[in-house]
């Protein structure tokens, strides 16, 4: 990883596909009945035996579309802190999607980030980028009636190189779950935009926990510790971090103490001994999140 | 059949509206887990095991203890049907929080796949609600006692109708009291709502009182004798409740030291 110009530099990396392929997929559709005539008009069904969505129109026609197979991809998320000339600290967040099987089709990475982050800059040259306002509440920013923005990065073709999305922001790092979905190529009969949104947000998408620009400089230690506790626990649940790691156990314990006491036990956290490369990256992120950047 | 994945099928009202699905508190949801092969086809008769879990310290519950409730799932294991689907029922807890459903799928051929499905219990329609020009923040660890939920910023979330209701009620009240510029607000709801267990650190975690503040439709406005609000910003309780009623609040509880305005009947939401 490049560390030019950076006073501190670290990376959070994990793979969506370890030795055993996996995907987190969730569909708010009932299972299709065996007989098409039993379908309720206007209701979308899922047929697991064929991997298709089906609907029955008011006229009695049944339309089916094949779900795209979830992308077989690795998603790396990195964060680096940047000391600005005015003495402040910014963060550079990078998201790199590497296809293990490019022939499976396009991918669509979706993040929901605080809409009040005026410092955010996005650079995603090889991606079709769509940033839109939403009606979803922002519970990170303490902004009156604040909402989240939806950042969608879509790539249909086969990349010549691992394409990286870069987001620069003044916001401090926290953990966030994102989705990485396949792209629906032929769904004209199925309200394609609606189906695509479904695929991205709750459908056949892979889900991953990444580091993202969430917290303002005034965020409290307890708020940050609670988020870090969630993120580390989530990485343990996903098998990315080892549940029996002494470092992980002590980190979770220290974060818990910070949440409940309201005092960031930075000294204690810094004294913990990460062992693996990923643990060292997590350690750097934890310290950086509390300090608001390297001093 | 060496490449396969697990699908969770759910009927969730708010699932498609968020990056991560929300389940309302105290709800019952019939769902299915499906193991798919590399072609997206269900794997018949796969063995499925489910384990519900919760993340600590989420939704501003900055406290924990061994009685921490977790949503339940039944059955916890069994064989998928001929389509590869394993049906189960999830019953959510009253606590707004981040949870996970850990699954293990064993294909008839012997391959094992672990998958984690994350979800939130709570309401996806609560917004941070503070207008500095007319409201002074009180409560939480800022001016009140530590209830285990951090600063008052963590309990300032409201549904939009109630947020606008309390906003216009305040403007109406201040309009009728030209010598007053602000009022003190407190105790709306936690970020995702659910049980706001203000006695968590007093041996009563995860339970009542404070039922009116579970849905993000209520707020407290400090009146006379409030020790946390400057006298000049305290309200006449009866007159402020009257302002709330004029703006659509109906379920108001009289208190000596604060006006409690609620834009929803507590019997209409779990508490």
What pLDDT is recorded for position B33? 82
Q: Is the pLDDT of residue A72 over 80?
A: no
Cβ neighbors of A165 (< 8 A, separation 6 or more) are A94, A95, A96, A97, A109, A122, A123, A124, A127, A153
Please compute the mean of the pLDDT values over residues A43-71 and round it to a whole number. Answer: 75
**Inter-chain CB proximity A51 and B36 less than 8 Å:** yes
Distance CA B136, CA B233 (A): 8
Radius of gyration of chain B (CA): 23
Quick: pLDDT tens for A118-153.
Answer: 999 999 888 889 899 989 999 999 999 999 999 988
Confidence band for A163, pLDDT divided at 50, 70 and 90: confident
Task: Give me chain B's average pLDDT, please.
Answer: 89
Does B68 touch chain A if contact means CB atoms closer than 8 Å? Answer: no
Cβ neighbors of B99 (< 8 A, separation 6 or more) are B52, B53, B54, B55, B70, B71, B118, B119, B120, B121
Tell me how many degrees the CA angle B115-A111-A155 measures, rounded to the nearest 5. Answer: 90
Does A151 touch chain B if contact means CB atoms closer than 8 Å? Answer: no
Confidence band for A77, pLDDT divided at 50, 70 and 90: confident
What pLDDT is recorded for position A43? 77
B30 to chain A: nearest residue by CA? A30
* Window 131-190 of B, Cβ < 8 Å to A: 131, 141, 148, 150-151, 153-154, 156-157, 160, 163
What pLDDT is recorded for position B14? 40
What pLDDT is recorded for position A87? 86
Quick: pLDDT tens for A145-161.
Answer: 999 999 988 887 666 56
Q: Is the pLDDT of residue A26 over 60?
A: no
Q: What are phi and psi of A138, to 5 degrees?
A: -100, 110
Instruction: Report the gap between the CA of A189 and the closest CA in chain B (Å).
Output: 19
**Inter-chain CB proximity B9 and A31 less than 8 Å:** yes
Of residues A24 and A236, the one with the higher pLDDT is A236
- Which of chain B's residues have a Cβ under 8 Å away from the Cβ of A195? none
- Which of chain B's residues have a Cβ under 8 Å away from the Cβ of A239? 114
Of residues B179 and A40, the one with the higher pLDDT is B179
Q: Which of B32, B46, B130, B31 is nearest to B82 (CA)?
A: B46
- Which of chain B's residues have a Cβ under 8 Å away from the Cβ of A46? 7, 9
- Please state the pTM of the whole predicted model: 0.84
Q: Which of B249, B212, B137 is nearest to B182 (CA)?
A: B137
Please compute the mean of the pLDDT values over residues A247-271 and round it to a whole number. Answer: 87
Query: B240 and B183 in contact (C-beta within 8 Å)?
Result: yes
Q: Is the pLDDT of residue A280 over 80?
A: yes
Q: In which residue are the tokens 């089906």 written?
A: A54
The alpha carbon of A73 is separated from its chain's Cα centroid by a whole number of angstroms, namely 13
Report the percent of chain A where pLDDT is more than 70.
73
Q: Which two tokens stand for residue B143?
A: 């001016």
Of residues A179 and A70, the one with the higher pLDDT is A179
Query: A227 and A175 in contact (C-beta within 8 Å)?
Result: yes
Region of A105 (left: φ > 0; alpha: ψ -120 to 50; beta: rest) is left
Buried residues in A247-278 as b, exposed as e (16+ CB within 10 A) = bbebbbebbbbbbbebebbeeebeebebeeeb
Query: A182 and A71 in contact (C-beta within 8 Å)?
Result: yes
Least confident of A88-102, B58-72, B95-109, B221-235: A88-102
Q: Is the pLDDT of residue A203 over 70?
A: no
- Which of chain A's residues have a Cβ under 8 Å away from the Cβ of B32? 31
Report in angstroms the alpha-carbon separations of A54 from A1, B12, B86, B110: 45, 18, 20, 31
What pLDDT is recorded for position A128? 86
What pLDDT is recorded for position B127? 97
- Residue B2 CB: number of other CB atoms within 10 A? 10
Q: Is the pLDDT of residue A285 over 70?
A: yes
* Window 29-58 of B, Cβ < 8 Å to A: 32, 34, 36, 38-42, 53, 55-58
Please compute the mean of the pLDDT values over residues A257-265 and round it to a whole number. Answer: 82
Region of A162 (left: φ > 0; alpha: ψ -120 to 50; beta: rest) is beta
Does A260 touch chain B if contact means CB atoms closer than 8 Å? Answer: yes
What pLDDT is recorded for position A268? 85
The alpha carbon of A254 is separated from its chain's Cα centroid by a whole number of angstroms, namely 25
Confidence band for B107, pLDDT divided at 50, 70 and 90: confident
In this complex, which of A28, A178, A220 lies closest to B15 when CB atoms are compared?
Answer: A28
Region of B124 (left: φ > 0; alpha: ψ -120 to 50; beta: rest) is alpha
- Which of chain B's residues have a Cβ under 8 Å away from the Cβ of A229? 55-57
Please compute the mean of the pLDDT values over residues A265-291 and round it to a whole number. Answer: 85
What pLDDT is recorded for position A35? 86
Q: Is the pLDDT of residue B197 over 80?
A: yes
Confidence band for B239, pLDDT divided at 50, 70 and 90: very high
Q: Is the pLDDT of residue B15 over 50?
A: no
What pLDDT is recorded for position A250? 94
Confidence band for A74, pLDDT divided at 50, 70 and 90: confident
């Amino acid at each position: 990883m490049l560390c030019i110009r950076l006073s501190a530099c670290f990376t959070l990396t994990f793979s969506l596909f370890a030795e055993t392929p996996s995907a987190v997929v969730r569909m708010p559709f009932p299972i299709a009945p065996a007989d098409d005539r039993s379908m309720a008009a206007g209701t979308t069904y899922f047929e697991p035996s064929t991997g298709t969505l089906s609907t029955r129109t008011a006229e009695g026609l049944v339309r089916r579309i094949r779900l795209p197979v979830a992308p077989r991809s690795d998603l790396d998320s990195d964060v680096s802190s940047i000391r600005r000339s005015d003495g402040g600290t910014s963060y550079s967040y990078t998201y790199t999607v590497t296809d293990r099987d490019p022939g499976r089709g396009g991918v669509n990475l979706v993040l929901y980030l605080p809409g009040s982050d005026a410092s955010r800059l996005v650079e995603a040259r090889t991606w079709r980028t769509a940033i839109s306002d939403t009606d979803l509440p922002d519970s990170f920013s303490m902004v009156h009636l604040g909402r989240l923005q939806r950042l969608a990065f879509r790539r249909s073709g086969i990349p010549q190189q691992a394409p990286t999305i870069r987001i620069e922001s003044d916001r401090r790092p926290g953990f966030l779950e994102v989705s990485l979905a396949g792209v629906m190529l032929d769904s004209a009969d199925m309200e394609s935009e609606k189906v695509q949104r479904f695929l991205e947000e709750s459908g056949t998408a892979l889900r991953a926990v990444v580091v993202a620009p969430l917290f303002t400089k005034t965020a409290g230690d307890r708020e940050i510790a609670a988020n870090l506790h969630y993120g580390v626990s989530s990485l343990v649940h996903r098998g990315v971090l080892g549940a029996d790691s002494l470092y992980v156990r002590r980190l979770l314990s220290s974060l818990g103490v910070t949440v409940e006491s309201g005092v960031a036990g930075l000294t204690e956290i810094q004294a913990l001994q990460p062992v693996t490369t990923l643990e060292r990256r997590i350690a750097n992120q934890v310290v950086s999140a509390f300090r608001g950047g390297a001093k | 059949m060496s490449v396969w994945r697990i699908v969770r099928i759910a009927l969730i009202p708010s699932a498609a509206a968020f990056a991560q699905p929300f389940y309302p508190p105290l709800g019952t949801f019939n769902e299915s887990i499906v193991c798919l092969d590399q072609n997206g086809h269900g794997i018949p008769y796969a063995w499925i095991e489910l384990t519900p879990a919760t993340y600590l310290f989420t939704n501003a519950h900055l406290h924990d203890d061994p009685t921490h409730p977790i949503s339940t799932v039944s059955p916890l294991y069994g064989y998928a049907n001929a389509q590869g689907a394993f049906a189960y029922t999830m019953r959510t807890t009253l606590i707004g929080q981040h949870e996970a459903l850990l699954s293990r799928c064993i294909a008839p051929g012997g391959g094992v796949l672990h998958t984690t499905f994350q979800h939130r219990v709570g309401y996806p329609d609560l917004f941070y609600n503070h207008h500095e020009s007319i409201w002074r923040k009180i409560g939480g660890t800022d001016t009140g006692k530590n209830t285990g939920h951090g600063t008052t910023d963590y309990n300032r979330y409201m549904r939009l109708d109630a947020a606008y209701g309390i906003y216009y009620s305040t403007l109406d009240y201040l309009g009728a009291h030209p010598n007053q510029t602000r009022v003190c607000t407190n105790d709306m709801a936690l970020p995702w709502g659910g049980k706001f267990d203000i006695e968590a650190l007093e041996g009563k975690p995860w339970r009542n009182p404070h039922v009116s503040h579970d849905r993000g439709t209520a707020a407290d406005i400090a009146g006379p004798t409030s020790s946390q609000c400057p006298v000049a910003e305290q309200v006449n309780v009866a007159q402020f409740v009257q302002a709330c009623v004029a703006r659509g609040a109906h379920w108001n509880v009289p208190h000596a030291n604060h006006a409690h305005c609620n834009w929803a009947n507590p019997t209409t939401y779990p508490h």
